[in-house]
Amino acid sequence: MFIVQSYPQAILFCVITMLCWGSWANTQKLAGRSWRFELFYWDYVIGILLFSLLSALSLGSMGTAGRPFMEDLAQADWGNIGKALIGGVVFNAANILLSAAIAIAGMAVAFPVGIGLALILGVLINYLGTEKGNPVLLFSGVGFVLIAILLNAAAYRRKSAAAAGAAAAAGGGSGVRGSSKGIVLSIVAGILMSFFYRFIAASMDVENFEMPAVGKMTPYTATFVFACGIFLSNFFFNTLLMRKPFDGAPVTYNHYFKRGLGTHMVGVLGGLIWGLGNALNLIAAGKAGPAISYGLGQGATLVAALWGVFIWKEFKGASAKDNVLLACMFLFFLLGLGFIIQAGQ
């Protein structure tokens, strides 16, 4: 199987992960103009499962290093398979809440709050699981990310207050309830999101991908099992959400099957993009360590905020002070990511 051979290569893979994890939600925004996120999410999950299988049968089965996918899956201990499956279930619950938050509050808010919180807690959890990297630099970087999250929340609160005042003056209501719901969903999603990676990492032999311990899985096999956990749990989580949505009227599977192939492929593309980032991140964990690999990947917050601010214009009409807060947010995110990278040198 393909294995990362150096720390710089691992960092490159983590940066690609950051781009993928921060960009997949654009497909939700594209589809969301006429397509409910609960329906979009089915296609997204299918895309994740497809990519995990393709990567396992290609990169995960080539060469002589490590164990090829089918052989690795056959020898995997059921306890480790269960850990990867649980990781998929936990991720799916978190990601559905994050998708709902994106639909309500937008990318520029849901990602910095939800994924930023997941970065902070996730780095701590993964470092305690595998103590790899300079803890002073690592957690200094996490501290800068925390400051960036608080700055983003402040900018969003100011923007929401201004919008609420304008709506009230026009007799259209305040809109505070929707704003608050988006923040709450983002926070809950972030807390759940911080745990999923540890389950996957625990199912692999992150110290030796070339000759993994018996019963442990390679990153390609773990990714596939993880994706199966996402797909299977979606029949419960997303069906429940379709019947009792956070926002809007209930939808049914009839709505899903009535749309054309083009609409469905947008969601599948979103899953393929996220799946690529996830596969590269787990491959990089062997050289960078789970805490650094996960932390850099969740720098997707910065990428998503850039999309939300500059492409989707989610802060259009913001005051000069709001723009200063956003600029400072980006600066502190960059500082934080720089410290996290240096932690692994």
Tokens of 206: 């992150």
62: left (phi > 0), else alpha (psi -120 to 50), else beta? beta
Of 233, 232, 253, nearest in space to 242 by CA: 253
Distance CA 273, CA 232 (A): 20
For residue range 27-71, list pLDDT tens digits in order: 988 887 778 989 999 999 999 999 999 999 999 999 888 899 999
Tell me what pLDDT residue 248 has. 85
Residue 215's Cβ-count burial label (10 Å; 0-12, 13-18, 19+) is middle
For residue range 200-245, list pLDDT tens digits in order: 999 999 988 989 999 999 999 999 999 999 999 999 999 999 999 9
Terminal Cα-to-Cα distance of the chain (whole angstroms): 25
Tell me what pLDDT residue 161 has. 74
C-alpha neighbours within 13 Å on the C-beta side of residue 24: 31
User: Of all helices (H) and strands (E), which one includes residue 286?
Assistant: helix 261-288
Tell me what pLDDT residue 97 has. 92
Q: Residue range 141-159: average pLDDT?
A: 83
Tell me what pLDDT residue 146 has. 84
> What is the pTM assigned to this prediction?
0.88
Tell me what pLDDT residue 257 has. 95
Q: Under a CB-based contact definition with an 8 Å cutoff, are residues 20 and 247 in contact?
A: no
Distance CA 135, CA 333 (A): 18
Characterize 109-121 residue by residue with b for buried, 16 or more Cβ atoms within 10 angstroms of its Cβ, and e for exposed.
Answer: bbbbbbbbbbbbb
8: left (phi > 0), else alpha (psi -120 to 50), else beta? alpha
Of 158, 169, 122, nearest in space to 300 by CA: 122
Tell me what pLDDT residue 173 has. 52
Top-confidence range, 87-101, 152-166, 302-316: 87-101
Tokens of 313: 């214009």
Model confidence at 167, pLDDT cuts 50, 70, 90, reads: low
Tell me what pLDDT residue 67 has. 92
pLDDT at 175 over 60: no
Distance CA 4, CA 13 (A): 9
For residue range 86-145, list pLDDT tens digits in order: 999 999 999 999 888 887 877 767 777 888 788 889 999 999 988 889 999 999 998 998
Tell me what pLDDT residue 168 has. 67
Mean pLDDT of the chain: 89
**DSSP tag of 213:** P
pLDDT at 181 over 90: no
Tell me what pLDDT residue 65 has. 81
For residue range 247-261, list pLDDT tens digits in order: 889 999 999 999 999
Q: Distance from CA of residue 302 to its chain's centroid?
A: 12
DSSP one-letter string for 246-280: SSS----HHHHHHS-HHHHHHHHHHHHHHHHHHHH
Tell me what pLDDT residue 256 has. 95
Tell me what pLDDT residue 140 has. 95
Tell me what pLDDT residue 172 has. 56
Q: Under a CB-based contact definition with an 8 Å cutoff, are residues 138 and 295 in contact?
A: yes
Residues in contact with 206: Cβ distance below 8 Å, sequence separation at least 6, in sequence order: 130, 285, 286, 289, 290
Residues in contact with 236: Cβ distance below 8 Å, sequence separation at least 6, in sequence order: none
Is pLDDT larger for residue 314 or for residue 208?
208
